[in-house]
Amino acid sequence: MFSYCTDPSTLEGLTWLSCYLTTGKHLSFYASFVTVLVLLAITAPTALLFGFGGATAARSRIAPLRWFGKGYTAIVRGVPDIAFFLFFVIALDQAFEYLRHKVKCPDWEEPIRQGNDFIVCQAAKLPLSTAPQWVHETYGFLLAVLTFAIVFGAFAANVLYGAMNAVPHAQMETAEAYGMSHRQAFWRIMVPQMWVYALPGLSNLWMVLIKATPLLFLLGVEDIVYWARELGGTVNPRFTDYPHGDWRLYYFTFLLIFYLGFTRVSEIVLERLMKKLTHGQATTGGEAQRKAAA
């Protein structure tokens, strides 16, 4: 990175450290923090969407849809999340390949499951074996995002379901008295009002989502945990210009501090948001604000 880094063996102290911390691998390490942030940025809205779908399904007047919505939240919440992560990554991959197989190779004779193998035709492979490396990585990342969205969607569904029920029933009755249809009352009365009730639950969910991001490592994405293990391990002078002992403890201390800081900042931001949203609301929080101002 710097011009004086050409011969690291002559360097010492801070200059050595400055060279060490800017090697190519370390830059990948820093980039993996961006991966985590991107994951959060994509997953949070997707999970919210899944959650909204789940909550609406659980309230549906059509019985099978209602069972689906309730079953979705109940099962995901009753089983360890990590089991779901491990399950969905393979299951989704196989489901996609199976669908493509059915479409692209309709005249394929052999069964797909042969003993312990899962075999689809070449054209149905995802990503194609000829695809460049970045396609493989992006595909892996997208599978991870979808998995996160499914699992956290169930949590969000539960929060939103509670929030929908918390909207005073009289509001809905009034809407119907004014001649709104079921659909109109839902979109115009319930959905705008439910957010205040949902926010505490959703902010809790956000914290949990932050703390779930290291699980990306288990899904095979090269995330911060992967790089911390990789970079922290003992390196032999034969393979690197920057030999050092087992530094994984220091790398993980750094990750620990990163997460603590991230949680703290989120806490402060969410608290401000909550203050803003409760302003003028007919809840105890809003009432307390009004009294404090008066």
Partner 1 sequence: MSCIETIQAYALRSIGLGERLLPRGDYTLCEHFTLIGSGMIWNVYFAVMALLLGFFFANVLALGKAAQSAWLRKPSEWFIFLFRGSPLFIQFFFAYFLFLRLKSVSPMFDGLTAAGLGALIVLFLNTAAYSAEIFYGALRSIPKGDVEAADAYGITGFRRFRRIIWPTMLRLAWPAYTNEAIFLFHATTLVFFSAFPVHQQKGDSLYYASYFADKTFNPFVPYPILAMYFILFTLVIVWLFGMVNKRLNRHLPQAQRPRVRYRPNLLR
Binding site residues, partner 1, CB under 8 A: 75, 77-83, 86-87, 90-91, 94, 113, 115-118, 155, 204-205, 208, 210-215, 217-218, 225, 228-229, 232, 246, 248-249, 252-253, 255-256, 259-260, 263-264
Which one, 68 or 186, has the nearer CB to partner 1? 68
Q: Pick the closer one to partner 1 by CB: 86 or 274.
A: 86
Cβ contact 36:213 at 8 Å: yes
7: left (phi over 0), alpha (psi -120 to 50) or beta: beta
Shortest separation between residue 62's beta carbon and partner 1, angstroms: 26
The 8-class DSSP code of residue 189 comes to I
| Axis crossing angle, helix 224-232 with helix 248-278, rounded to the nearest 10 | 160
Q: Shortest gap between Cβ of 183 and partner 1 (angstroms)? A: 30
Q: Which one, 31 or 256, has the nearer CB to partner 1?
A: 256
Token readout for 199 is: 């926010």
In the structure encoding, which two tokens stand for residue 154, read together?
């169930």
State the minimum distance, in angstroms, from the CB of residue 222 to partner 1.
16
Question: 39-44 contacts: CB < 8 A, separation 24 or more?
Answer: 39/141, 39/144, 39/145, 39/148, 39/213, 39/216, 40/209, 40/210, 40/213, 42/145, 43/145, 43/148, 43/149, 43/152, 43/209, 44/206, 44/209
Which CB sits closer to partner 1, 75 or 166?
Answer: 75
Q: How far is the CB of 262 from partner 1 (least distance, A)?
A: 9
**Residue 105 CB, nearest approach to partner 1 (Å):** 19
Query: Could you report how far apart the first and last alpha carbons of the chain are, in Å?
Result: 59
Q: Is 141 helix (H, G, I), strand (E, B) or coil?
A: helix
CB of residue 113 vs partner 1: minimum separation in angstroms? 7
**Residue 76 or 172 with smaller CB distance to partner 1:** 76
| Omega within 30 of 0 (cis) for the link into 127 | yes
Q: Which is nearer to partner 1, 207 or 274 (CB)?
A: 207
